[in-house]
Every structure is written in structure tokens, then in C-alpha cells.
């Protein structure tokens, strides 16, 4: 299995902005928790984390080729399940969802970014963020307008989970990492 260290090194070689690196780490954190929450099990935590970390690794350098470069690299590294999940993390690409990993990445990617955006506009950061606030902001198309709400909805539907419960899960997965992800009070108000 590809090590986390090698994956992070590769991500950093292709991704120069702090914002996209933080998004990669945030989705990694949530996906590691998703491996346990959605039935994949402890043995899949690393694989889920790799998918979360690397899902947008080629986006900054080669947006017109995204996700083909990272998918090819993962296939070369012997990570076909991670490669497939990344190739399917956007419904409009028409790739079939074959595993919990595929569905979880779709359900966690956009929502993780959206929860982060919600935390950044709060004086307390993510510390006091609740699902009801996120759900309210999801209805406001002007807030974090680049987040595709249909992708969030499709992901939770594929996983067969309640949206509010999944939002709470994402918030709780991110809270212990708030400082490193820039979602803590000091980061949110600076």
C-alpha cells in the first residue's frame, strides 16, 4: 500500500496552494473517519484517507485533465480502488459507484469544503458549528457558491444516510483537527 508520507509528498509536488492542501487534508481526515462509520472497517482507514487526500491532487496543475493524472499515478502505484474512487468523485463524470469508498468520497468531498466555509464565518470557528447552521447555509445558493449542492445530495443518497446526520459526522470528524486545518477560533478570526 502507498504510504501516507509518499502520498503527501506527491500531493505537495503537484499542489502549491495552502488552501487546496488544507482541503486535501480535511477530506483525508473525514474519509478516515468515514471508513469506520460507514462499515468499511479499520483495515480500510488508510485507503479511505489516501482517497480523501489525493482526490484533487492534479486539479491545480492540470485542471483540464483532472482527475486523469492522479488516477493514472495511483494505478501505477498499485492502488486501483483509490484510483477508481477518485475517478468517480464527481457524478457528472459518469463513473459507476462500486464500493463504499467510492460513495463516501462523493459524500464527503464537497460537504467537507462547505463545512469548512461555514466554520470560517463564525467567531468560534468549528467549535460551536451545528448541522442546522450548515443545512441553512446549504439553502443559500450565494454562500460558498462553488460548492455543488447536487453532489452533496447525491453522495448522501448513495450512502443511504440522513443529510443532517452526515453533516454532524463531518463536523465532528473535523473538530479535533481544527487548528491544523485553519478552522479554530484563532484561525477563523485572524
Distance (Å) of CA 117 to CA 103, 145, 153: 22, 11, 18
pLDDT digits (tens, 9 = 90+) for 20-61: 999 999 999 999 999 999 987 788 999 999 999 999 999 999
Check whether 4 has a pLDDT greater than 80: yes
CA distance 105 to 147: 15
**Reported pTM:** 0.95
pLDDT band at 187 (very low <50, low <70, confident <90, very high): very low
Average pLDDT over residues 136-159: 96
Check whether 188 has a pLDDT greater than 50: no
Check whether 112 has a pLDDT greater than 70: yes
Average pLDDT over residues 11-19: 97
Q: Burial, 145: exposed, middle or buried (Cβ in 10 Å; 0-12, 13-18, 19+)?
A: exposed
Residue with cell 471508513: 35
CA distance 107 to 25: 16
Q: pLDDT exceeding 90 applies to what percent of the chain?
A: 94
Q: Burial, 173: exposed, middle or buried (Cβ in 10 Å; 0-12, 13-18, 19+)?
A: buried
Asked if 170 and 30 count as a contact pair (C-beta separation under 8 A), the reply is yes
CA distance 119 to 129: 7
CA distance 140 to 138: 5
Check whether 6 has a pLDDT greater than 70: yes
Average pLDDT over residues 116-124: 95
pLDDT band at 186 (very low <50, low <70, confident <90, very high): low
Residue with cell 462509520: 37
Task: Bin 15: left if φ > 0, else alpha if -120 < ψ < 50, else beta.
Answer: beta
Amino acid at each position: 500500500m502507498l504510504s501516507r508520507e509518499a502520498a503527501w509528498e506527491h500531493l505537495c509536488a503537484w499542489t502549491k496552494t495552502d488552501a487546496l492542501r488544507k482541503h486535501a487534508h480535511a477530506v483525508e481526515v473525514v474519509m478516515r473517519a468515514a471508513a469506520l462509520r460507514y462499515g468499511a472497517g479499520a483495515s480500510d482507514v488508510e485507503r479511505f484517507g489516501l482517497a480523501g487526500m489525493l482526490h484533487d491532487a492534479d486539479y491545480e496543475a492540470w485542471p483540464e485533465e483532472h482527475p486523469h493524472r492522479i488516477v493514472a499515478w495511483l494505478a501505477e502505484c498499485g492502488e486501483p480502488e483509490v484510483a477508481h474512487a477518485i475517478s468517480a468523485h464527481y457524478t457528472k463524470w459518469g463513473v459507476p459507484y462500486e464500493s463504499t469508498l467510492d460513495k463516501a468520497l462523493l459524500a464527503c468531498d464537497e460537504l467537507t469544503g462547505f463545512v469548512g466555509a461555514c466554520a470560517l464565518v463564525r467567531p468560534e470557528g468549528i467549535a460551536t458549528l451545528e448541522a442546522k447552521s450548515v443545512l441553512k447555509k446549504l439553502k443559500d445558493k450565494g454562500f460558498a457558491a462553488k460548492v455543488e449542492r447536487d453532489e452533496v445530495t447525491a453522495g448522501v443518497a448513495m450512502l443511504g444516510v440522513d443529510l443532517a446526520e452526515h453533516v454532524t459526522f463531518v463536523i465532528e470528524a473535523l473538530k479535533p483537527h481544527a487548528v491544523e486545518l485553519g478552522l479554530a477560533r484563532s484561525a477563523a478570526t485572524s
